[in-house]
Structure 1
Amino acid sequence: MPSAALSAREKDKTADDRACPGDDSHERARTPSSRESMICGGIAGLTSRFFVAPLDVVKIRQQLETHSLRGAAPRREYSGILSSLYKIYKTEGLTALWRGNLPAELLYLVYGSCQFAVYSHIQNNLSPLDIPDAAKNFVSGACAGATATAVTYPLDLLRTRFAAQGDGAHRVYKSLRHALLQIHKDEGLTGYFRGLRPAIAQIVPYMGFFFASYQPCKLAMSSLEHEYGVNTFGSGDAIAGMIAGIVSKTCVFPLDVLRRRLQVQGPTREKYVLAGVPTYPNSIVGCARAIVKNEGPRALYRGLWVALVKSAPTSAITMWTFESSLIALRWFDNKMETLKA
């Protein structure tokens, strides 16, 4: 590396040592290391999950609710967002809105760490290649999403089943431990991975398009702030994440419905709050055909509105928390290095 570049780097490091967490002019420019990505990704995942958990419960129940095309249209149990939240609160209590939150928090902790670590690793390896940035972002995002999904899928399945169960006769699993043991006993190891194929098929384009659209949105927000003087009140990362999340979620939502329907298959299928979930072929095409035949194409988008409402704050909170945690972590590391010196 040229001496001028070394000198510039040393000056930047000296400035960083004096900086506080809010002074992020240098920190935002550096690509996160694997360690930084795992720590900040985990924090971002835990934070976003807690705030959107009630919306996730509503979304899952709407996705599992079936309506036959034959005969009179049945009354929907979970139609609107606010009415569904109130119904769950009134009939099952406040804690029901966070049902399945323990496996979900574990899911988001591991998923967020794995996702950002793989994304940064692939980005660093693709950096020397002469290919468009959009292609690098897409490949990195797709690989990161697929890897994180496969690693954490049993937790995702548990989250869905806990969110689908109610109280009393509709309580299928007493605890996380009981669920793990019961699924292994009744369904074997493959029971933990029901619906994995549509999950992978969904997450590859979703994360690919998310990261591919997030980076341009982030640059656009930065340009609005620095070149045009638009004040985003420090929420540029959050807005970019929100836009990327909405676009990506809409494109791949039918696969999310297929995943949820397949996740509650098995011997406990009739025991959930929404009893009568049909038996579906264990394939993407077969499941999609069965849903369209019995409920129409619109059923593949059931719960989309809740998903979009959830996706915006989830993506915004995730990316804002990740960026903020990264700045704070680097400030802390620089302070520790200064104290050691």
Structure 2
Amino acid sequence: MPEGHSVHRIARQFERNFVGRAISVSSPQGRFADGAALIDGSTMTRAMAVGKQMFLEFEGDRWLRVHLGLYGAWDFSGDILIDPTIASANGRMGQTNQRGTDPIYDDAGENSLTSIGAPRKTRVHVRMSEQTKGLSDDGSEWPPPVVGQVRARMMTDTTCADLRGPTACAVETPEQIDAVLARLGPDPLVGDEAEGEARFVASAHRRSVAIGQLLMDQSVVSGIGNVYRAEMLFRAGTNPHTPGKNVPTDVLRRMWRDWSHLLRIGVDTGQMMTMDGLTGEAWRSAMASRDDRHWVYHRAGLPCRVCGTEIVLEEMQARKLYWCPTCQT
């Protein structure tokens, strides 16, 4: 499932390419036909992400709420205005960073390193989801052919966005959106960050539930998934089974600030980079390989990078949890 950084990146892509424009909306699959008819031809006025959900506002007090879930993805094609903090020039979701200019492709096909440059228009086809892969598009056909089960297609004169496989795709009223937002925990990139920190600490301290479960609870804090959960707990030196009410306040505050730090890195680079202080070849290796950018995630049975203890893999609420029983006592 996409974690918070991916959804923020998608929202920013909509901000650059769709907001302020009249949008043609359809449902080639048919499952979203009624909703598409409500916003077809309307101007998109806002795009925002909160945690794992994205909200697109249209004139007429209508919002499109999208939750990608486990299988959802957006495909963008056409003349896409690439933001250097969102995607690389070849259209793949990747990092734009001054550390170098040579592209590096990781094992998921992402170009995760390119030079900083001004936004530019380029003919590309981009898939934006947690497992991001670039797809070729020679621009020979417009609008692009519908491929597979497209729940919703959104188009301007020059740009197309196709949504496949979401958990939620619904047109809602401002009141309905407010109700959804009220149920979501704080997101460091939305609203006042200090207020978000206070909400997170207070919510965690009210619960006897394990902190490893609370970090995945979207009503406690928004956007954290399996990877960030494992890495944040390791970085905080915290046993994932510790009840939230027993986690010291200063540790909870550090967790929130660490989430803010890691989330911004994820939005800027497109990678869930959770190891600090990497430079040169170590940085390039980490950008090229997911296995080199995490402390404990996906390292079951391997020695801890700090103490050498074997990393433990267990299940917590039917999700895989990786942690070090020595460093996280």
What TM bracket, shorter-length normalisation? under 0.3
Give the TM-score normalised by the residue count of structure 2: 0.25
Give the TM-score normalised by the residue count of structure 1: 0.24
Larger strand proportion, structure 1 or 2? Answer: 2
Larger helix proportion, structure 1 or 2? Answer: 1
Q: Which has the higher contact order (CA 8 A, sep 6+)?
A: 1
